Amino acid sequence: MSQGFPTIVGMSDETLQALETSAPTLSRPGLLVMDVDSTLIDEEVIDELGAAAGCGGKIAHVTEQAMRGELDFREALRARVALLRGLPVSVFDEVYRRLHFTNGALALIDALHAHGWKVGVVSGGFHEVVDRLVADAHIDHALANRLGAADGTLTGEVLGEIVTKDVKLDALRRWAAEDGVPMDQTAAVGDGANDIPMILAAGLGVAFCAKPRTRAAAPHAVDERDLRKVLDFLS
């Protein structure tokens, strides 16, 4: 099932180093970590929350810029979350009902679990939604942002440390250590610029239906919305 590495003119040193790492194998336990919005699921949760707040277009525009790496992710997230102030916390129930697991997502997770792998998700989205996805998909690890709330409404603030590209990378490494998995037995999948560091650090890095910057940086790419295609890169 393994595939040869492509030759890409102008590939960065970091990408070349990633290519030199042998591909993970399903014959030994491993760890896959993936992004949530537009990867594990088809939607962007922040955009869905924005639609509920009546400012969906404005939030979606900022989301697109942030995922292309054109804006500082922390500031972009704070600006979008501020627009959600006053929304009732019941909005999470409404939004969750509108979400869809990406085609092949559950099959990929089940296949990896059958081979003794663990699966984690790291998200610039929110635990208030991600935790429900984790329970439904039987995911082993999860890290996301948390939103402030008081008296049953959102405060427009993000609580604690914001999940950035560096936090995602740290989570990949930490979970691998916790699970006793060497880094060459890890895989990382994502679509946005903030997924690039973990994609390059993993034994297998895959850009999934990704933004141009992410696709150019990643050793491998899947351009069809079917997460089962990730299995094609595992020996």
Residue 210 near residue 192 (C-beta atoms within 8 A): yes
CATH code of the domain made up of 13-43+101-233: 3.40.50.1000
DSSP 57: H
Q: What is the mean pLDDT of residues 32-40?
A: 98
For 41-78, write each residue's pLDDT tens digit.
999 999 999 998 888 888 888 888 877 888 788 888 99
Q: Taking a C-beta distance cutoff of 8 angstroms, is the pair 32, 117 a contact?
A: yes
Q: Tell me: the pLDDT tens digits for 146-196?
A: 999 999 999 999 999 999 999 999 999 999 999 999 999 999 999 999 999
Contact 137, 159 (CB under 8 A): no
Tokens of 165: 């590209």
- Position 1 scores a pLDDT of 41
Rg (alpha carbons) of the chain, rounded to whole number:
17
List the catalytic residues: 35, 37
Write out the two tokens for 192. 């946005």
- The torsion defined by the Cα of 102, 193, 33 and 127, in degrees rounded to 10, comes to -70
Cβ pair 127, 94 in contact under 8 A: no
pLDDT digits (tens, 9 = 90+) for 73-83: 888 899 899 98
Q: Where are the domains of the chain?
A: 13-43+101-233
Task: For the full predicted model, state whether its pTM sits above 0.85.
Answer: yes
Two tokens, residue 138: 């039987």
Which range has the worst mean pLDDT, 19-33, 82-96, 147-161? 19-33
Q: Could you list the beta-strand ranges (E) of the chain.
A: 31-35, 118-126, 141-150, 153-159, 186-190, 204-208, 220-222
Percent of the chain with pLDDT strictly greater than 70: 91
Compute CA 193 distance to the chain's CA centroid, rounded to the nearest angstrom.
10
Give helix 73-82 / helix 45-53 axis angle, nearest 10°.
30
Closest Cα partner for 218 from 28, 60, 5?
5
Q: Could you give the CA distance from residue 140 to residue 215 in angstroms, rounded to a whole number?
A: 27
DSSP of 134-172, one letter per residue? HHHHT-SEEEEEEEEEETTEEEEEEESS---HHHHHHHH
What is the DSSP secondary structure assignment for residue 230, as one 8-state letter?
Answer: G
SS3 of residue 203 by DSSP: coil
With a CB cutoff of 8 Å and minimum separation 6, the contacts of 193 are 66, 67, 68, 69, 165, 211, 213, 214
The whole-number pLDDT of residue 13 equals 55
Closest CA to 187 of 133, 97, 122, 138: 122
CA 14-17-23 angle, to 5 degrees, is: 125
